């Protein structure tokens, strides 16, 4: 598999420290609010990558943090703690906010078929580990105490900027006009490992440390969580492109200073979801969530398909029109699969393997999900039987996660139910297979046959009140819910 590496700025053959095993880390959410669909684009693409690696035969250990302390409103260690901000907004404790939005995040992931990582670690559960690593960095001369806080000294590094091919806007995340300069820093790029003093005094979560009562900085959390659960050699680090600087840059600095050797050779960054107003952001106020998509009648998997139709390294523009196009494509795709006869012959494994090779080639080309989706349509057009086509699609969906066969089977069942007929005395009732409605329709027929038209009209009105549209046919009647 060839993947673009943000650290070397080119596509490279993906290689691992241990043969056929991947230690994978993905930056998790800061759980102070709902995840917006821009955030979730990154998690969808990371999920596809993990599933593609497993599908290609790798054993994968995927680790994710949950940031429930230490992430300030600016990624550059200034502003208010996002968790405290969320707690104030909703008049709850920080831990209540963290639990609520953690649950909401994984609920969204379930709806989008995003697999839960093998390890999920809230930052508040590893405070002793953060203190141990920070103490080591001080002992090694890579960190210093100033103004009560502990800072990483970037001047001790041969190279600090790693991801310098990103757009200036991406590299400037966390830099805000009007932000006061931290006079405790020796160098402008130094960053906080442990806070004991900040611009606000009411931090809700605090712990004892050798440097005073305080809390960890955001960057140290991911390094320590990864090193604990992935080990000293990480194969693949993922996240949104806006994490590249300063967050991932700082992770590399502190991890390699602590370990004394190169830490992670391959970096996978997913680009922004944009709207017509620019990059989607919670700081701008109203933002789009999975729940909002559902309220508007969209299956969350329509959004997953929308993301898969674009390459992860391209910016993706969201609009309701674009989502409608994805919905139309998804519905049509499911209808085509539903029309396949799964009992049509035996699986032709030679044909299946040939299509699997084409699908693998798309994944191996820098996770080209657009081409992988095209493989689905190619399989539907294949000159083979229904059983083989369904087997091919089931294989592809292990990676795509679009519930292709499940949704198709549900549609077939629904179609069968809608065409169910009740025949009594030569009178055919076609509807959705509801015995109670069928009985009323039959009662109306009997009333009409007895020329009791007032009763027939009453029953028709009763059906209408229940949202049933009734149409007489030459052989009986057909009804549907409207």
Last residue of a domain, one of 367, 392, 415: 415
- The model's pLDDT over 230-244, given as tens digits with 9 standing for 90+, comes to 999 999 999 999 999
Examine residue 110 and state whether it is found in any structural domain, yes or no: yes
Is residue 86 left, alpha or beta, with left meaning phi > 0 and alpha meaning psi from -120 to 50? alpha
Band (421; pLDDT cuts 50, 70, 90): low
What's the number of domains the chain is made of?
A: 3
Examine residue 279 and state whether it is found in any structural domain, yes or no: no
Q: Which domain holds residue 370?
A: 290-415
State whether 326 and 475 are in the same domain. no
Phi/psi for 118 (5° steps) reads: -65, -35
Last residue of a domain, one of 270, 298, 333: 270
- Tell me the pTM: 0.85
Examine residue 278 and state whether it is found in any structural domain, yes or no: no
Examine residue 459 and state whether it is found in any structural domain, yes or no: yes
State whether 297 and 330 are in the same domain. yes
Biggest CA-to-CA distance, the chain: 99
State whether 89 and 140 are in the same domain. yes
State whether 50 and 66 are in the same domain. yes
State whether 302 and 222 are in the same domain. no
Q: Which residues, in sequence order, are bridge partners of residue 76?
A: none
Examine residue 284 and state whether it is found in any structural domain, yes or no: no
Q: Cβ neighbours of residue 468 under 8 Å, at least 6 residues apart?
A: 437, 479, 480, 481, 482
Nearest to 201 by CA among 182, 188, 214: 214
State whether 255 and 305 are in the same domain. no
Examine residue 283 and state whether it is found in any structural domain, yes or no: no
Examine residue 275 and state whether it is found in any structural domain, yes or no: no
- The model's pLDDT over 15-39, given as tens digits with 9 standing for 90+, comes to 999 999 999 999 999 999 999 999 9
pLDDT mean across residues, the chain:
90
At residue 174, the pLDDT reads 38
At residue 74, the pLDDT reads 56
State whether 320 and 452 are in the same domain. no
List alpha helices for 10-67, DSSP H.
37-55
Highest mean pLDDT pick, 88-102, 274-288, 327-341: 327-341
Band (435; pLDDT cuts 50, 70, 90): confident
State whether 69 and 183 are in the same domain. yes
Band (83; pLDDT cuts 50, 70, 90): confident
CA–CA dist 448, 428 (Å, integer): 15
Q: Cβ neighbours of residue 306 under 8 Å, at least 6 residues apart?
A: 316, 318, 322, 323, 326
Query: If you average pLDDT over residues 261-280, what whole number do you get?
Result: 89
At residue 344, the pLDDT reads 82
Question: What CATH number is associated with residue 376?
Answer: 1.20.120
**Angle of the 37-55 helix axis to the 94-111 helix axis, nearest 10:** 60
Examine residue 174 and state whether it is found in any structural domain, yes or no: yes
Question: What CATH number is associated with residue 133?
Answer: 3.40.50.620
At residue 481, the pLDDT reads 83
Nearest to 330 by CA among 365, 297, 367: 297
State whether 427 and 392 are in the same domain. no
Question: What is the CA angle 476-477-482, rounded to 5?
Answer: 175
State whether 66 and 39 are in the same domain. yes
CB–CB of 153/138 below 8 Å? no
State whether 135 and 263 are in the same domain. yes
Nearest to 177 by CA among 280, 284, 72, 78: 78
- The model's pLDDT over 186-200, given as tens digits with 9 standing for 90+, comes to 999 999 999 987 655
State whether 374 and 399 are in the same domain. yes
Question: Of residues 303 and 182, which shows the higher confidence score?
Answer: 303
Query: If you average pLDDT over residues 303-327, what whole number do you get?
Result: 97
Beta strands in 14-161 (DSSP E): 21-26, 59-66, 72-74, 78-81, 119-122, 143-146, 149-152
CB–CB of 6/165 below 8 Å? yes
């Amino acid at each position: 598999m060839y993947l673009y590496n943000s650290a070397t700025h080119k596509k490279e053959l993906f290689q691992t420290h241990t043969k056929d095993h991947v230690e994978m880390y993905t930056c998790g959410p800061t759980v102070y609010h709902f995840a917006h669909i821009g955030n979730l684009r990154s998690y969808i693409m990371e999920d596809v990558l993990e599933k593609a690696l497993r599908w290609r035969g790798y054993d994968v250990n995927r680790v994710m943090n949950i940031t429930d302390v230490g992430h300030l409103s600016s990624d550059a260690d200034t502003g208010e703690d996002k968790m405290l901000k969320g707690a104030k907004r909703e008049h709850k404790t920080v831990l209540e906010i963290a639990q609520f939005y953690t649950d909401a995040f994984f609920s969204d992931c379930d709806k989008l078929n995003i697999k839960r990582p093998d390890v999920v670690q809230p930052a508040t559960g590893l405070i002793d580990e953060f203190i141990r690593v920070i103490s080591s960095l001080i002992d090694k001369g890579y960190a210093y105490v100033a103004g009560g806080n502990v800072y990483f000294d970037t001047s001790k590094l041969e190279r600090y900027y790693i991801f310098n091919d990103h757009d200036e806007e991406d590299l400037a995340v966390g830099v805000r006009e009007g932000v006061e300069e931290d006079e405790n820093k020796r160098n402008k790029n130094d960053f906080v490992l442990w806070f004991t003093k900040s611009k606000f005094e009411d931090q809700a979560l605090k712990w004892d440390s050798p440097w005073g009562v305080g809390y960890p900085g955001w960057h140290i959390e991911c390094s320590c969580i990864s090193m604990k659960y992935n080990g000293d050699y990480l194969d693949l680090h993922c996240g949104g492109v806006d994490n590249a600087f300063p967050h991932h840059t700082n992770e590399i600095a502190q991890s390699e200073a602590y370990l004394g050797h190169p830490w992670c050779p391959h970096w996978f960054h997913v680009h922004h979801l944009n709207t017509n107003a620019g990059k989607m952001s919670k700081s701008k106020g109203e933002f789009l969530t999975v729940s909002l998509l559902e309220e508007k009648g969209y299956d969350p998997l329509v959004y997953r398909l929308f993301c898969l139709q674009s390459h992860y390294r391209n910016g993706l523009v969201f609009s309701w029109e674009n989502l409608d196009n994805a919905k139309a494509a998804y519905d049509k795709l499911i209808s085509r699969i539903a029309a396949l006869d799964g009992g049509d012959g035996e699986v032709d494994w030679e044909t299946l393997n040939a299509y699997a090779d084409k699908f693998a080639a798309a994944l191996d080309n820098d996770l080209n999900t657009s081409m992988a989706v095209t493989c689905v349509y190619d399989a539907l057009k294949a000159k083979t039987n229904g059983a083989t086509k369904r087997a091919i699609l089931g294989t592809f969906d292990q990676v795509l996660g679009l519930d292709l066969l499940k949704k198709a089977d549900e549609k077939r069942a629904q179609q069968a139910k809608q065409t169910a007929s009740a025949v009594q005395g030569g009178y055919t009732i076609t509807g959705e297979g509801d015995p109670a409605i069928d009985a009323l329709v039959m009662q109306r027929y009997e009333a009409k046959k007895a020329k009791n038209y007032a009763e027939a009209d009453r029953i028709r009105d009763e059906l209408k009140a229940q949202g049933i549209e009734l149409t007489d046919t030459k052989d009986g009647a057909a009804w549907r819910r409207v």
